[in-house]
A and B are shown apart, each in its own frame.
Chain A
Amino acid sequence: MCPSPDHGVDDARDRYKVLVVDDEPTLRLGFSYALADHETDTASGGQEALNKLEQGDYDIVVLDLRMPEVDGLQVIEALRGRGDDLPVVLCSAAVTPAAALRAIGGKVVDFLLKPVCPAELRGVIEYVLQPSGDPLSLAMREARTGRLDEALAYLDDGPADCPRIATWRHILGALRSAEPDRKAAAAAKLEIEGLKHLSFRLPED
């Protein structure tokens, strides 16, 4: 009686084609249901995801980090390796600072920390594909295409006391300078602070 999770349901105004990659079947199911407004496809592993991404014309990928065989980071690197700048949302229970820095280096700046509730999932799709006009969103839009200087310029416009903007400025600055010391400092900062300032948060209404 339930519609198949692997097919779109609604004819929403902004329907996007989303690929959900996760080795956990329940999560694939849940994500697909949560994103029922969009056209959703699933893959249970990194290799399958890469195959599907090569064939299909997706708007965005929700990617699990920890997967057997080909993991999330390898998917990102393979994808960027073949010149595909498709937006990726990295979704994991535990993102280490080193993994986060590698991901950001691979133009992935959107993190969802599991456990995720459906509203957050829907929110991040909208945040990535329809960015609002605030400095952080604009900076993230630039960062997604690898334009770190522009991203930093937007961040400088933003309020200085916002911890999210401060953290992003710190990390993007470290990545742009490519100094090992600054990278290590950024990793240490992430180690302590956790990824809460990097990860996506639903705007509080």
Chain B
Amino acid sequence: MLRTRLFYGLLTLILLLWGVGAAALLLVHDSNVRSEERLRENYPAIKTARGMRTVTSTVNTHYLPALAAAPDDGEVDRSLYDEQHAELLERLNSLRSARQGDAQWADVVGRLDLALKAYFQGYDRFFGGEQVTRDERAGLLEYLSSQTQRITELSEGVISLAENKMLVSTRVLSEESAKNTIFVATLVMLGTSIAVLIYFQLVRHLVDPVIGLKRSIEEIRKGNFELSLPESSPDSEFRAVTSAFNDMAAELHLRRGETDERLMRTNLVNRAILEAIPSPVFVLGEDGRILQVNPAAEALTENLGVSNRLPAKIQRILDETVEAGSNHLPEDPREALLFRVNEREYYYLPRIFRFTSDDGIHSGRAVLLHNVTRIRWLDDMKTNLISTVSHEIKTPLTGIRMVLHLLLEERSGALTDVQKTMVNSASSDCERLLVTLNTLLDLSRAESGTTHLDRQPTSMAEVVARVERLFLPKTTEKNLSFRFDIADNLPDVHADPLRLDEVMNNLVSNAFKHSPEGGTIILKVARAGEGFVRASVIDEGPGVPEASQSRVFERFFRAPGQETDGVGLGLFISREIMRAHEGRIGLLDRADNKTEFYIDVPLA
């Protein structure tokens, strides 16, 4: 266990540290004590020995001159001598007791004792006063001098011996201190080795596994799941980590494999779907970058010279769609965009829609360009065919009609009643056929003629005023009346006034048809949200049956049971005109027994 190892290793280190510290303190203390002891042992001895010399010389100085002089009768005062005699003996005793058990010392002190004794004998003779003669006196003086000399020498010997002892003890001390140094150094070395040992243990058990883990994580990030961590020893804390990590890597490997396979399959399916769609398809990310295009889109962009980018026209619509946050799903082939590829014209209807993932996190847009070239061509063909055929039928029909009219005029001869009836019948059929043909021609005109607008700032109020002028003479027929509800300060709209007149005429004409006798038709103009002016035509007629409401703007639609004339193109043409204006036309829900048709025209 790393924890225990760490604990014991550091504990040893701490104990060692304490040991070294304690030993060092002890040794220093011990050496201090010993050196003090030596000093105490030897220093007083030296001092005492040196004092003996002083004392003897004091005694000698006091008494010896008398001895050197002529014999004197006077009694010599011996009090100083006695005093000094005691002093010397005391000093000797002190020297003797200073070092017991030391043979050399005892020998030197013994000899000093003998010398002192001899010295004292000399002075005893002096004080006995036996020396009378000059020679005797000289002999005593000499004796005393030599004894003093001897004492001095022996004192010197004691001093040098004490000094010697001190020197020796200092040497011993320094030898001991060297040993102590070695001891402490050994301990320090030991501590250092333990620290190094702990370091390597830590590296091996702590740092190495972490580095291995880091390397493995990097490998896994690179996608290499094969590398697994070596199993740690059973008592390592890293064992759990390692095995958990290896399990995780294995799990990841497995999942990755599954995910890869699923992705590949999904990708294949997506590609198959995209490639099967003959229309160019662009899949875009939320940031507008193209994520995927199908082969049809590749071919189209390549032919347009904008390889794998959205053509500018489509990009513009896409930007508008993104800004509006809506989808762009037109259905009318006339909203298709023209592209020239290899000098041929193609019409593509752009369908742009937003998609989000199931969790709602990811989203993007798909742009599908629906090729409506053929539909457009067929539509044009149909319109042209209707127009051509109508004209071709109309021409001979006018001849027939003229002839019938001439017959009915009876200028070339009277008709019998039967003949007249038959010609009348033929004539009315002829008229009906002509109405139908004219309607067909109107239709083709509406379908081909709403593309060119002369848009200019136009006052909606003036449009309403023109409509009123046009219809005012007709109000007498059904005793109808107009009412106006026109807001003040209306901005101009951006529209072709003639076309707008046509739409309003149509709506008012419808209102006339459906109004009851004596009814009121309301013409209302007001702002409709941002960017639009709404003009409404409100009548009090029976309204549009609910089932027909969604179909009134279709071509040829006539509400069931409707008796009034017309073939059901007015609202269709009006819708086409409003569509070309990027405006709106609509029918509001019936309220207060009133029917309201409105147009929203964009502002100038």
Chain A residues near B (Cβ < 8 Å) = 2, 24-27, 29-31, 33-34, 36, 66, 93-94, 114-118, 161, 184-185, 188-189, 191-193
The segment from B44-52, B331-339, B357-365, B395-403 found at the interface with A is B395-403
CA A33 – CA B406 in complex, angstroms?
Answer: 7
Report chain B residues within 8 Å CB of A184.
Answer: 454
B405 lies within 8 A of chain A by Cβ: yes
A94-B391, A94-B441, A189-B498 known; A26-B452 Cβ under 8 A = no
A36-B411, A94-B391, A191-B449 known; A27-B502 Cβ under 8 A = no
B433 to A: closest C-beta gap in Å: 10
* Contact present for B403 and A30 (CB under 8 Å): yes
Report chain B residues within 8 Å CB of A25.
Answer: 399
The chain B residue with its CB closest to the CB of A193 is B498
Report chain A residues within 8 Å CB of B413.
Answer: 2
Given contacts A26-B402, A29-B399, A66-B391, 9 further A-B contacts (CB under 8 A): A26-B396, A26-B400, A30-B402, A30-B405, A36-B411, A66-B395, A94-B394, A117-B402, A118-B405
Q: Tell which of A31, A33, A161 touches B469, judged by Cβ atoms closer than 8 Å.
A: A161
The interface centre, meaning the residue of B402, B430, B469 with most chain A CB atoms within 10 A of its CB, is: B402
Report chain B residues within 8 Å CB of A93.
Answer: 391, 394-395, 398
Report chain B residues within 8 Å CB of A66.
Answer: 391, 395
CA A193 – CA B391 in complex, angstroms?
Answer: 19
Report chain B residues within 8 Å CB of A30.
Answer: 399, 402-403, 405-406
The chain A residue with its CB closest to the CB of B412 is A2
Report chain A residues within 8 Å CB of B454.
Answer: 184-185, 188
* Contact present for A114 and B398 (CB under 8 Å): yes
* Contact present for A116 and B449 (CB under 8 Å): no
Report chain B residues within 8 Å CB of A161.
Answer: 469
20 A-B residue pairings within 8 Å (CB atoms):
A26-B402, A30-B406, A66-B395, A93-B394, A93-B398, A94-B391, A94-B394, A94-B441, A114-B394, A115-B398, A115-B401, A117-B401, A117-B405, A118-B405, A118-B406, A118-B409, A184-B454, A188-B452, A188-B496, A193-B498
* Contact present for A192 and B502 (CB under 8 Å): yes
B434 lies within 8 A of chain A by Cβ: yes
Report chain B residues within 8 Å CB of A185.
Answer: 454
Report chain A residues within 8 Å CB of B449.
Answer: 191
> Binary interface profile of B, 493-507, with partner A (CB < 8 Å = 1, else 0)?
000101101100000
* Contact present for A188 and B498 (CB under 8 Å): yes
B9 to A: closest C-beta gap in Å: 103
CA A119 – CA B413 in complex, angstroms?
Answer: 17
The chain B residue with its CB closest to the CB of A181 is B454
The interface centre, meaning the residue of B395, B449, B502 with most chain A CB atoms within 10 A of its CB, is: B395
Report chain A residues within 8 Å CB of B400.
Answer: 26
Report chain B residues within 8 Å CB of A24.
Answer: 395-396, 398-399
CA A27 – CA B413 in complex, angstroms?
Answer: 19
How many Cβ-Cβ contacts under 8 Å join chain A to chain B? 72
The chain A residue with its CB closest to the CB of B411 is A36
Report chain A residues within 8 Å CB of B403.
Answer: 26, 29-30
Report chain A residues within 8 Å CB of B394.
Answer: 93-94, 114-115
Report chain A residues within 8 Å CB of B401.
Answer: 115, 117
CA A94 – CA B413 in complex, angstroms?
Answer: 32
The chain B residue with its CB closest to the CB of A190 is B498
CA A117 – CA B427 in complex, angstroms?
Answer: 11
B457 to A: closest C-beta gap in Å: 15
CA A71 – CA B391 in complex, angstroms?
Answer: 16
* Contact present for B406 and A116 (CB under 8 Å): no
A140 to B: closest C-beta gap in Å: 24
> Binary interface profile of B, 453-482, with partner A (CB < 8 Å = 1, else 0)?
010000000000000010000000000000
Report chain B residues within 8 Å CB of A94.
Answer: 391, 394, 441
B477 to A: closest C-beta gap in Å: 16
Q: Tell which of B406, B430, B499, B502 touches A34, judged by Cβ atoms closer than 8 Å.
A: B406
A2-B412, A188-B452 known; A27-B402 Cβ under 8 A = yes
CA A36 – CA B409 in complex, angstroms?
Answer: 12
A93-B395, A114-B398, A191-B449 known; A33-B498 Cβ under 8 A = no
Report chain A residues within 8 Å CB of B434.
Answer: 115
* Contact present for A34 and B469 (CB under 8 Å): no
The chain A residue with its CB closest to the CB of B434 is A115
CA A52 – CA B315 in complex, angstroms?
Answer: 63
Report chain A residues within 8 Å CB of B409.
Answer: 118
Interface residues of B in 391-428 (CB under 8 A from A): 391, 394-403, 405-406, 409, 411-413
The interface centre, meaning the residue of A2, A116, A118 with most chain B CB atoms within 10 A of its CB, is: A118
* Contact present for A192 and B411 (CB under 8 Å): no
Q: Tell which of A115, A118, A192 touches B498, judged by Cβ atoms closer than 8 Å.
A: A192
The chain A residue with its CB closest to the CB of B401 is A115
CA A25 – CA B398 in complex, angstroms?
Answer: 11
CA A116 – CA B449 in complex, angstroms?
Answer: 26
The chain B residue with its CB closest to the CB of A185 is B454
* Contact present for B398 and A116 (CB under 8 Å): yes
* Contact present for B412 and A33 (CB under 8 Å): yes
A27 to B: closest C-beta gap in Å: 4
Report chain B residues within 8 Å CB of A34.
Answer: 402, 405-406
CA A146 – CA B432 in complex, angstroms?
Answer: 39
Report chain A residues within 8 Å CB of B501.
Answer: 192
CA A63 – CA B441 in complex, angstroms?
Answer: 22
Interface residues of B in 506-549 (CB under 8 A from A): none
B35 to A: closest C-beta gap in Å: 130
B500 to A: closest C-beta gap in Å: 10
CA A193 – CA B441 in complex, angstroms?
Answer: 14
* Contact present for A27 and B398 (CB under 8 Å): yes
* Contact present for B406 and A192 (CB under 8 Å): no
CA A25 – CA B391 in complex, angstroms?
Answer: 17
* Contact present for B402 and A118 (CB under 8 Å): yes
CA A157 – CA B396 in complex, angstroms?
Answer: 41
CA A146 – CA B460 in complex, angstroms?
Answer: 38
B71 to A: closest C-beta gap in Å: 180
The interface centre, meaning the residue of B406, B411, B441, B469 with most chain A CB atoms within 10 A of its CB, is: B406
